[in-house]
Structure 1
Amino acid sequence: MSKAQDHLKNMKLGRSSASLPVIDRNGYECAQLVPIGKADTQDDYLIKSIFKWRNRHMESFATRIANPSIEKTRSYLENIPIGKPDRILFRLIAKGKLVGHVGLCSVNNTKICDIDNLMIGEVGLGLELAMFCELTLLHFCFDQLDVSEVAADVLNTNRAAYGLHRLVGMKVKERIPLIATIKENGDEFLTPRLSSQRLNSDVFFNRMTVNRELFMTTHKQWIEGLKAI
């Protein structure tokens, strides 16, 4: 287990100062990112909220579950963001209310990790909260996980996520063609096409990235506000 993965493990177990304050452009705390751990799999409100949000925005994900359920959502949390050492999922709390979630994956020794599952589930909260949430997560990656680059794979059909990532300084590094695979149970998976495979989808990933130097320079004033709280 890498040092960064050990840090994620301690956050999920509540052994370290886990919550990440989200600040606005004026330096005021407007939300918190709180790690989801094993005990949270018994939080029915959390599970039902994630279930509802994912169903509402299913086309934004590369995995489309044919028959989603509360228990499948609970199992996903336990086995993927909680169970895997290279992943973590934070719930987004604003004004004391659960309003979304965001996570990381591929946290290992490569000095590159990926933003995953960014979701502002409650309507009417605006783009700014999502932007400040992502800025907080990026700063966490560069400052506490010591990565040199953060990436996000965004479906070309997901214009909202594409625009959000551009706001925080991410740029498209490459386009990755995807193929669609449907299992017997009806679940559909969009995965990167191998050279030997024939395209059967017009959907692709925009792989967007930002490095530490660019982030720290572009958002210097915001980071100073974060350090001041």
Structure 2
Amino acid sequence: MDLKDYREQIDRIDRTLLENLQERMRVAEGIAKYKLEHGMRVFDPVRERQKIEKLLWDSDEDLAYYNKILFTTIMEMSKDHQHKFLHEETETVHRIRDALRYSPKVFPRRAKVACQGVEGAYSQQACDRFFSMPQISYQKNFRGVFQAIQKGECDYGVLPIENSTAGSVNAVYDLMMEYHFNIVRSVRVKINHSLLAKPGTRKENIREIFSHPQ
């Protein structure tokens, strides 16, 4: 098999994991409602410890450590989800729920986002600060970000507008005027440039450096 075949297998397994995880969380909702009706607590340390021990006993030995992390995390998620169904519905809780339900969603947790650059670029770091679950489309240049939004391919664009060394990124401001887009949120990202070289390169032998003008 080649890399493509392995990746297709991983994608298939991930889809199955997602379906099973969501099914597990829905079952946890039923458990939460049962516990609420019978006055039981969400956290049952004895049951949880026994379950982890059984799962690890059935696990391949070389993967037991990773499986422990996985199922401990899943159980924490399950308990957190169950707690949503166990809070007493007081007047204050009702008011909070109504405020959350009817307040406009100013900024989504997930969105299709255009970024200038490539995977690992500073624009991606900024994007991950804005959105917890972004679907990122990488563009070759600033104009590509604006075009992706204009065409409806993306909902938001992440672009640099200020630089503590060089000042305003005028090209971006010019494109904002051209496309009539607005800034809806900003974030500061620390920029830490590095000099890349082949392994074994000695600094005294470097004669020419290629870089962005900044």
**TM-score (normalizing by structure 2):** 0.23
Structure ID, larger Rg: 2
Q: Which has the higher helix share?
A: 2
Where relative contact order (Cα < 8 A, 6+ residues apart) is larger, the structure is 1
